[in-house]
Amino acid sequence: MSARKLDITRLGGQGDGIAETDSGQIFVPFTVPGDVVTAGVEKSRGTLISVLEPSPDRVTPPCPHFGPDDDEAGCGGCALQHVADGTYQDWKRGLVVAALDARGITAEVAPLVSCAPHARRRVVFAARRTDKGAILGFNRAQSHHIVAIETCVVATTRISQALPALRRLATAVAVGREAFRISVLDAVPGLDIAVDAPFKLTEQDRLRIISAVRAEPLATRLTFNGESLIEKQPPELEFGSVTVNPPPGGFVQASNAAEMVMGDLVTGHLKKSKRVVDLFSGSGTFALRLAQQSHVHAVEADAASLAALDRAARRTQGLKPVSVEKRDLFRRPLMLSELKAYQGLVFDPPRAGAEVQVADIARSTIKHIAAVSCNPVTLARDLEILIKGGYRLTSVTPIDQFLWSSHVEVVALLERPKR
């Protein structure tokens, strides 16, 4: 590794600063366009050594745990806290623009919808047993090394303030030396905690963990590898005006504020659709909102999430009819004949997108489509299929649900023009 002086000119797709050199591009994490830095360089990767001339767009990170990979403070949870808001927002919106351009899609991309710090209600921590108790934090970028954290400016205030309690619970859980994950959801009336670990518990371990949860006021439920150990009260989330009891470790949108923006975009676009199908519905983020105005058929592969959606719909007065179907849409997408029953459709697939399903949607007569994705690249691929099938892209809205990371949520709205 050799030390070199580098001029940083722009940000790459993962948030690393890029220096253009005679030997090619060099990617240097924790740098900003306009920085002049010294970096240790090995092939196309650089490790920041010092900032010789800081960019006007370099700011002081708000979190004490943010820092370079070789800094013990660097937790790996965020990549861009050191970048000024304007530059950061332009860059994140640019991720969506670039993904669409790569597919030849011309569309006006709306300004980035910002999310404030302390808005993330779903956080996944890494933990491991040590001789002094459990260590709880995040994996350093591209590493299995867990950096312990004392605070988190991304997580909700309740999660951040509960870190000492979560560390005590991790200590109770850590019967093996292997690292494990703790998913924490800030719900009503407290924190919903789901542990995913490579080791097994004895009955004595279970009793110890239950006792530890009872001693922590903020913990309302704890599950271990899908097994419910204790539930003081069922966790609750609000999807529009509908109360849902999410399954342990089930998928929910990471930020409530982002979810509300997404929900408004989807329901507004599909408001004239008498019958709507929600694909990859989860526990009903969109289906239960849409049921206030339309008949909804929700399709989801995860049985627990679908059951939560169904229970919520059945006990809520004033909704239009809601039907549910357990179905793996990657293996068995809805066929053209099945899609004929609907005037509106929303899909929110995993990061891989919905290529196979979208091929059938593109041949359908559905009038209005809302496409939601946390991956602009696969979304652009799916949008290209729909556009080639005759759909018109009417709006694209990027939402900064994953603050200071290289991930961005997108809601794209399409309609089939009248013949």
Is residue 300 part of an annotated ligand binding site? Answer: yes
Taking the alpha carbons of 87, 90, 93, 97 in that order, is the dihedral positive or negative?
negative
Helix (H) / strand (E) element for 6: namely: strand 2-11
Residue 343 to residues 113, 265, 295, 334, 365, Cα–Cα distance (Å): 28, 17, 10, 14, 8
Count Cα neighbours of 333 within 13 Å in the Cβ-side half-sphere.
16
C-alpha span between 37 and 182 (Å, rounded): 37
CB 171, CB 200: distance < 8 Å: no
Taking the alpha carbons of 191, 194, 197, 203 in that order, is the dihedral positive or negative?
positive
Is residue 66 part of an annotated ligand binding site? Answer: no
C-alpha span between 185 and 4 (Å, rounded): 44
Beta bridge partners of 410: 373, 398
Residue partners of 281: CB distance under 8 A and separation at least 6:
287, 298, 299, 300, 305, 306, 309, 324, 348
C-alpha span between 227 and 1 (Å, rounded): 48
Is residue 280 part of an annotated ligand binding site? Answer: yes
Cis peptide before 189 (omega within 30 of 0): yes
Ramachandran angles phi, psi of 230, nearest 5°: -160, 140
C-alpha span between 300 and 298 (Å, rounded): 7
Ramachandran angles phi, psi of 209, nearest 5°: -65, -40
For this structure, is 374 an active site residue? yes
Amino acid 80 reads: L
* Residue 177 DSSP one-character state: S
Count Cα neighbours of 80 within 13 Å in the Cβ-side half-sphere.
28
* Annotated binding residues for S-adenosyl-L-methionine: 253, 280, 300, 348
Q: Which residues carry out catalysis?
A: 374
Known binding positions: 253, 280, 300, 348
